[in-house]
Amino acid sequence: MKNDLGFLCLDLKQTVEHNTLMSIIRSIIDNNPFNQVCVFNHSSSRTGYENVPVLPISHCKFFEGDLFLFDILSLSMSKNFPGIKTKYLYYPSIPWTPPNNYYMMWKDLLKDSDLKIITTDTVLQQIYKTCWDIDTKNIENFSYEGITNAIQ
């Protein structure tokens, strides 16, 4: 891993998905001891954090490295964060659906040279390519291997 890595996860919950996410982040930390890896978050209802550093979202603005995102709110929030080198958006769907689909807003968000989109199937990959001329990475399972392959 070249750069430090932050995960912007606005709302951490005690769900299966977030348990998997935390264990993946733990594995990334274990396998990259010379990099800083942490989670930025706004609210949390978790009881345990698997020894993953969790920082308030305000710290994200001053983070230097790559940022992993899971929703459009985080993407728009982090648009002008100065220290972010590459943003990875894991989005298993398409965000520009009606009624809130103002083309220029989506173009501004998605056609960003620092943004890499990670999709979950080849159909989505094709839609992104057709609609926005964006090459996306595809990971079928949200796993340690999938994430590390996507961010390399």
Partner 1 sequence: MIKIFLPEINSKFYNNIRHLSDNLLEVHSYAPIDIYKIHNRISANAYIFDSSYVSSEIVQFINEYSELPTKTFIYHRNSHLNKDMIRYIKKSNHIISHNLFDEFSKYKNTIQLPEHIINEKIFYRTNFKERIDREVYLLDNDKEIPKYISDRLLPNKKDSKTILFNNSSIPHAQNLGILTETDKAKILNEYKYYVCDEHAEYMTEAFSCGCVILDKNFSEIQFDNSDIQTFSQFVKKIL
Is residue 15 a contact point for partner 1 (CB under 8 A)? no
Going 67 to 94 to 135 to 138, the CA torsion angle's sign is positive
By CB under 8 A, which span of 10-18, 24-32, 92-100, 134-142 interacts with partner 1? 92-100
- Estimate the crossing angle of helix 144-151 against helix 16-31, to 10 degrees: 60
Q: Which of 16, 33, 43, 103 binds partner 1 (CB under 8 A)?
A: 103
Could you give the strand order of the β-sheet that contains 65-69, starting from the edge strand earlier in sequence?
54-56, 37-41, 5-8, 65-69, 84-90, 115-119, 137-138
* Closer residue to partner 1, CB minimum distance, 77 or 109: 109
Is residue 133 a contact point for partner 1 (CB under 8 A)? yes
Contact residues for partner 1, defined by CB under 8 A: 94, 96-99, 101-106, 123, 126-127, 130-133
